[in-house]
Structure 1
C-alpha cells in the first residue's frame, strides 16, 4: 500500500500493520484512520491469518485521536468522525484472521480502543494504557463503552472510563486488558512469534472459533450456545479436521493447509 502514515508488511501468513506518525505519537487523524482501514483490507485480501498492529517509534502505540482535529468539531462532523473510527475498529474485530495488538508506549483514548478491538494484546513493560476521554469532556467514541467491560469487567471498566485511569503494563495484565507483558526490546519479536504460532493453526477452525466467541457477546447465552453447536459440527469433514485428528491418532505433527 502507498501511505506515509501507515505501513503494511506481509510475510507469508503473517502481516504487520504499523501506524507511522511517531512525531505525533502516532495519533489518529482522518488520513491515518483511512490508511489503517485500507491496510486491514489489503491484509485480508493477501490472505493474512495473523495481523500484528503496532506503532512506530519507542514512545507510543497510538497515543489517541488527534485532539487538534477534534476540538472544533460540531455534532454532525463528530458523528462522521466517530463512524470512521468505529469502522476501523470493527475491521480489526471482524478480520477473518487473528489480530494482535503489540502495545508499545502510550495507548490512550482511541489508541486503547484500537487495541481492545484486536483479539489478543501484548504490552511492553513501559506501556501505559487508558481511556482518558473524560478529561477532554467526552466519552470513548470508538467502542470502549461496549468492548472494555466485556474484557476487564464492569467495575474496572467504569473506573477506567469515569476516572480516566491510566494503567501501567503490569496492572493492565492483572485486570485482563493485556495477555502478557514483555521487555521493551522483545515486544516485536514476541508479537511475531505469537502471530506465527496462531497462523500455523487451521484457518477455517480459527475463523469459526472467532465468530463463535463474538456471537456469545452479541446474543443471549443460549443463543450463543446454539451457534456454537452448529459451528462445531460444521468443521467436521473439512480437510483441516480430517488432518488434525488423523495426525493425533497417528502420533505426528499435523500439516494444515
Structure 2
C-alpha cells in the first residue's frame, strides 16, 4: 500500500492502492507514518499512485466499526497526521487528482502543499453522515479560515486547484510536485529543519522570538564559513 523511493535528498512516499483511490486502512496508516518518520532525507514528497491522491479512510473498514473502534480509528489517523507534522524532514504534499476526506487531512498535516492542475479537494463525509476526523476540524480552519473551512466541510463540495490556491489550501499549482521537493531540498538541511520548527512553534510570541533568536545564532555559528564565502562572491 505504501511505496518508498529514496534519492540522496528526497524520499518519495507513494500511497499505492490505485484500485481504491489510495484509501487507507489501519495498516496503511501505520506504514505511512513509518515511511515518513524513518526518512533520513531533508525532504519527503507524499504523493498518490494513479488518478487520485488519496480518498481518505477506506469506507469498507469504517462500515464495520462500532463506536469504540471508530474512536480508535480516528485517533490512529490523528496520530499519523501529527507524526507527519512533527517529522524531522520537510514534508511536501504533491496532490495530483482527487484528495477526499482523510486525504485532505493528510495533506493539511504536511509542511508544503502543492497541486497539479488536475487536483481537486473535498470533505464529503457529511454526505454519508460522518466527517473527517484525522485532525481536519482542527487544521482546516487554521489553514483556510473558519468560514472557508465550514463551507467545505458542511457542503461536501469539491474545489479545483485554482480555488484551492485562492483559499490558501495549497501554495502553488505546478506540473511537477517533485520539482518543488527538489527546490526545497537544494537548501541547507539544518536551516530547513530549524525553519520548520520555528514556524510550527505554537508557544507564546515572546517565547517564539527568544527561540528564533537562539536558533539564528546557532545557525550563524555553524555556517560562518559559508556566509563569508557568499559575501565574497
TMscore range, shorter length: over 0.9
Q: Which residue of structure 2 lines up, in the alignment, with residue 142 of structure 1?
A: 134
Please give the secondary structure, in 2, of the residue aligned with 1:141. Answer: coil
Can you give the 5+ residue segments of structure 2 that lack an aligned partner in the other structure? none
Give 1:157's match in structure 2, choosing from 144, 149, 152. 149
CA RMSD in angstroms comes to: 1.5
Paired residues in the alignment total 233
CA distance in 1, matches of 2:109, 2:100: 14
Give 1:233's match in structure 2, choosing from 191, 194, 217. 217
Render the CA deviation track for 1:134-191: whole Å, top value 9, x for unaligned. Answer: 2222232111112111211221112112222321111001111111123xxx3xxx22
CA distance in 2, matches of 1:13, 1:142: 29
Give 2:116's match in structure 1, choosing from 124, 127, 133. 124
Query: Are positions 1:250 and 2:232 aligned together?
Result: yes
CA distance in 2, matches of 1:12, 1:6: 19
TM-score of the superposition, structure 1-length normalised?
A: 0.85
Give 2:29's match in structure 1, choosing from 33, 43, 64. 33
Q: CA deviation at 1:232?
A: 2.3
CA distance in 1, matches of 2:32, 2:11: 13
Q: Which residue of structure 2 lines up, in the alignment, with residue 50 of structure 1?
A: 43
Query: Are positions 1:192 and 2:178 aligned together?
Result: yes
Q: CA deviation at 1:242?
A: 1.4
CA distance in 1, matches of 2:207, 2:115: 34
Q: Which residue of structure 1 lines up, in the alignment, with residue 61 of structure 2?
A: 69
CA distance in 1, matches of 2:91, 2:13: 10
CA distance in 2, matches of 1:79, 1:244: 50
Q: Which residue of structure 1 lines up, in the alignment, with residue 207 of structure 2?
A: 223
TM-score of the superposition, structure 2-length normalised?
A: 0.94
Residues 226 and 31 of structure 1: CA distance in aligned 2, closer, same or farther (over 3 Å): same
CA distance in 2, matches of 1:227, 1:160: 36
Q: CA deviation at 1:213?
A: 0.7
Query: Are positions 1:92 and 2:61 aligned together?
Result: no
CA distance in 1, matches of 2:232, 2:157: 52
CA distance in 2, matches of 1:157, 1:167: 12
Give 2:52's match in structure 1, choosing from 60, 74, 97. 60
Q: CA deviation at 1:226?
A: 3.2
Q: Which residue of structure 2 lines up, in the alignment, with residue 210 of structure 1?
A: 196
CA distance in 1, matches of 2:26, 2:99: 18
Q: CA deviation at 1:19?
A: 0.6
Query: Are positions 1:171 and 2:163 aligned together?
Result: yes
Can you give the 5+ residue segments of structure 1 that lack an aligned partner in the other structure? 252-257
Q: CA deviation at 1:123?
A: 1.0
